[in-house]
Amino acid sequence: MTDHDITLTVNGTDHECSVEPRTLLIHALRDEMGYTGPNVGCESSMCGACTVHVDGEAVKACTELAVRADGSEVTTIEGMGDEDDMHPLQESFQEEHGLQCGYCTPGMVMTAAEFLDEEPDPSREEIREALEGNLCRCTGYQNIVNAVETAAADMRGAATDGGEARTDGSEAATDGGERVEQEGGD
């Protein structure tokens, strides 16, 4: 097989590499360029752990050929923010305990980021629908939905809960799928 030379701009950095025509974008990113944030889960577009943005759209990189992305701008979880300047979604996943093992988190964040760009004030049901293509085997999803809801509010400019700003230092928890306030404590 003849290799193809491709150029990708990943998180603002230009990369050139040679790949076989059958190389998936996920493998070019991880193996050729060192971006290990997107994870290889199912390799069949079922779990969403490999989700990245290609030219601004969420794409499951395990089913996208690297040669098809030639010339594109790619954003991985590493490009969303860093430890000192996290994206609101990254902050809210941490604050709302929206992760456990963390394997699905990069794909969840990338999917949610595209969704919130399109729908900045979603309902909980709309959040659930937007995340349908992403699987988490640890959390039960409620805290993930809470995290996306919190990030949406933060991104709109005011963290709210039921229309009122949270000022008492309490944390959000869930009860039957709805948000309830839980007193902070020892």
Summarised one tens digit per residue, pLDDT across range 132-146 is 999 998 888 999 999
pLDDT in tens, 46-78: 999 999 999 999 999 999 999 999 999 999 999
Instruction: Name which residue leads in pLDDT, 8 or 184.
Output: 8
**Which residues fall within 8 angstroms of residue 122, CB to CB, at 6 or more apart?**
115, 116, 130, 148, 149, 152
What residue ranges of the chain are covered by domains with CATH 3.10.20.30? 4-79
Q: Residues spanned by CATH 1.10.150.120 within the chain?
A: 88-175
Query: What Å distances lie between residue 92 and 47, 105, 133, 152, CA to CA?
Result: 21, 12, 20, 9
Average pLDDT score over residue span 3-29 = 97
Average pLDDT over residues 24-42: 96
Q: What does pTM read for this prediction?
A: 0.83
pLDDT band for position 179 (cuts 50, 70, 90):
low
Residue 15's identity, in one-letter code, is H
- 3-class SS of residue 99: coil
What is the dotted CATH code of the domain comprising 4-79? 3.10.20.30
Written out in words, the top-level CATH class of the domain with range 88-175 is: mainly alpha
pLDDT for res 178: 52
